[in-house]
Homo-oligomer: A and B are copies of this chain.
Amino acid sequence: MDPTTKINIPESALERVVIVGGGFGGLQLARKLNKANFQVVLIDKNNYHQFQPLFYQVAMSGLEPSSIVFPFRKLFQGRKDLYIRMAEVTHVDTTAKQLQTPLGHCNYDHLIVATGADTNYYGNEELERRTLPMKSVSEALYLRNSILDDYEDALTTPAYDDRQELVDIVIVGGGATGVELAGSLAEMKTHVLPKDYPELAVQEEFDIYLVQSGDALLKGMSANSSEKALRYLEDLGVTVLLNSRVTGFDGRIVTFDDDRTIATQKVIWAAGIKGQPIPGLPEEAITYGNRLAVDRHNRVKGTDCVYAIGDVAYMEEPDFPQGHPQVAQVAIQMGEHLAKNLRYRHERGEEWEPFHYSDKGSMATIGRGRAVVDIPKPEFHFAGVLAWLVWLIVHLFAILGTRNKIFVFLNWLYNYINYNQSLRLIIRPAKAR
């Protein structure tokens, strides 16, 4: 693409706000700028918003991708002064106030970096090449296909050791993603796989390992919840390895820092994330975890009119001196807050209000019927069936809020409760000829 080509967006007398990334933060911001005096441009690699908290359900054949992703064009049907472009932003020139994309360049008056975070392999190229990530619905779908492919292969693998490599799964990372993945895999092992694969000794042969470098699961949640989650997983037959650090994986053997090994062909990497800033932003702004240092107005350090929100932003505030947790709630609140500053205070020349994160609590589910919930103020923890119902209702409303998918959700709920989902499909779009 000739760099002088301009992306095809109508000229307008309005100031142009360009949002890069339509995750929780970017989507919220775009919504809250409805009927504001801005021309809004939303640029994303995909044509859909992804509901990340349920990726693990896609990987475990519990939900279809379409149940948890939502096309931007449908979300914004009828919206004025908003333009959606599907492209990867390759560079930003903050002096010229211009983005580069394969569709051409795009000028902005205000740039919102809402590009989120990607999997962090901490510089280990072997792990990056050989383990399976789960930071997008496409990766979750790839994981689903690869798990099912390996079970099929196991059927025609007579030697016990070779079969073990195919059916055992190692999950690295004991955060919410790893815990929820391990829990739902364990339930699939108990309730679904013996029926699908009566020829295999599923209960005896299929092992699930969850590896955590620290001494507790769900870092960031209460000690209470960490311990409950550990107990629930062990009840479900997951082997939880605490204080264990994976150092290598050659495609068949996982090695640990204390020289232990596990034989498997499938390692899921959920051990960390790193910010994905846009190339071209000032070096001085890049800080811990590859995130962008922002002030309390979400303004990126050393820039003018460039803001970062969500997982890619690093903001210190008195209650969070080491930055906020990288969760959906923070992104949503930042998106909403920045929208208010832009549409009310920017235009009137008023002083902007500083962002303050209001923690509504956190939760994780471990298979069906069990979850852990932490409420911060007043501090309160609970677990078990009630916690699971809370988890279910929160996610139900979050999804319904995005899109009226009541039947899809009812269908999922019905099958989820009955262990009766039939999505164990290895589907790939046909190759181009």
Contacts and interface: CB of A to CB of B under 8 A. Distances in A.
Interface in A128-148: 128-130, 133, 136-139, 141-142, 145, 148
What is the size category of the interface that chain A forms with chain B? 35 or more
B142 A432 contact: yes
B71 A156 contact: no
Interface in A147-187: 148, 152, 155-158
A377 interface: no
Interface in A27-70: 46-48, 64-66, 69-70
A417 interface: no
| Residue among A66, A85, A196 with the highest chain B CB neighbour number at 10 A | A66
A427 B195 contact: no
Interface in A166-217: 195-197, 199
Contact of A77 (B64, B195, B423): B195
Interface string A401-433: 001010110110010000000111111111111
A66 B425 contact: yes
Contacts of A241: none
Contact of A427 (B104, B141, B145, B430): B141
A425 B199 contact: no
Given A7-B156, A156-B103, A74 B196 contact: yes
Nearest to A65: B427
A158 B9 CA distance: 10
A247 interface: no
Contacts of A219: none
Given A156-B104, A430-B139, A47 B424 contact: yes
A78 B128 contact: no
Given A156-B8, A422-B74, A430 B85 contact: no
| Residue among A69, A73, A408, A432 with the highest chain B CB neighbour number at 10 A | A73
A83 interface: yes
A5 to B, nearest CB: 9
Contacts of A7: 156
